[in-house]
Amino acid sequence: MAAKKTRKRRESFGAIRLLPSKRYQASYVGPDGNRYTAPLTFTAMEDARGWLARRRIEIVDGLWSPHEAQAATTATKSKATTFADYAEQWISTRTNRHGEHLRPRTAAEYRRLVKGPLADFAESRLSGISPETVRSWYSELLKSGTKTQAARAYELLKAILATAVQDGRLKSNPCQIKGAASASSGKKVYPPTAAELSIIVDKITPRFRAAVILAAWAGVRYGELTELRMKDIERLGDVYVVNVSRAVSHVTGQGAIVGPTKSEAGVRAIVLPPHVTGIVETHLKDFVSRSPESLLFPAADGVSHLAQSAFYKHWDPARSAAKRPDMPWHALRHYGATRAALAGATLKELQSRLGHSTVAAAMRYQHTAGRDEELARRMSELA
Count of structural domains, the chain: 3
- The answer to whether 175 and 134 have CB atoms below 8 angstroms apart is yes
User: Is 333 an annotated catalytic residue?
Assistant: yes
Q: Examine the domain organization and report whether 89 and 216 are in the same domain.
A: no
- The answer to whether 169 and 71 have CB atoms below 8 angstroms apart is no
- Compute the distance between CA of residue 38 and CA of residue 49 in angstroms, rounded to an integer: 11
Greater model confidence, 28 or 355: 28
**Does the pLDDT at position 363 exceed 80?**
no
Greater model confidence, 45 or 204: 204
152, 319, 333, 367: the active-site residue: 333
49, 105, 221, 324: the active-site residue: 221
SS3 20: coil
Question: Residue 186: what pLDDT?
Answer: 58
Residues present in the chain in total: 383
User: Is 365 an annotated catalytic residue?
Assistant: yes
Question: Residue 8: what pLDDT?
Answer: 56
Mean pLDDT calculated for residue range 8-22: 77
Q: Examine the domain organization and report whether 158 and 55 are in the same domain.
A: no
User: Is 356 an annotated catalytic residue?
Assistant: yes
152, 283, 334, 356: the active-site residue: 356
* CATH number reported for the structural domain that contains residue 126 in this entry: 1.10.150.130
- Compute the distance between CA of residue 244 and CA of residue 236 in angstroms, rounded to an integer: 16
- The answer to whether 89 and 101 have CB atoms below 8 angstroms apart is no
Q: How confident is the model at residue 375 (pLDDT cuts 50, 70, 90)?
A: low
Element holding 141 (H helix, E strand): helix 131-144
Among 51-55, 255-259, 309-313, name the most confident range: 309-313
Domain C-terminal end among 182, 210, 234: 182
Residue 31, C-beta contacts closer than 8 angstroms, at least 6 positions apart = 59, 64
Q: Is the pTM of this model over 0.95?
A: no
Q: Among 54-68, 268-282, 341-355, which is the least confidently predicted range? A: 341-355
User: Is 138 an annotated catalytic residue?
Assistant: no
Range of the domain at 246: 194-375
Q: Please, what's the largest Cα pairwise distance for the chain?
A: 98
User: Is 250 an annotated catalytic residue?
Assistant: no
**Does the pLDDT at position 378 exceed 80?**
no
Is 86 domain-assigned? yes
Could you report the per-residue pLDDT of 220-274, keeping only the tens digit for each? 999 999 999 999 999 999 999 999 999 888 877 778 888 777 777 668 899 999 9
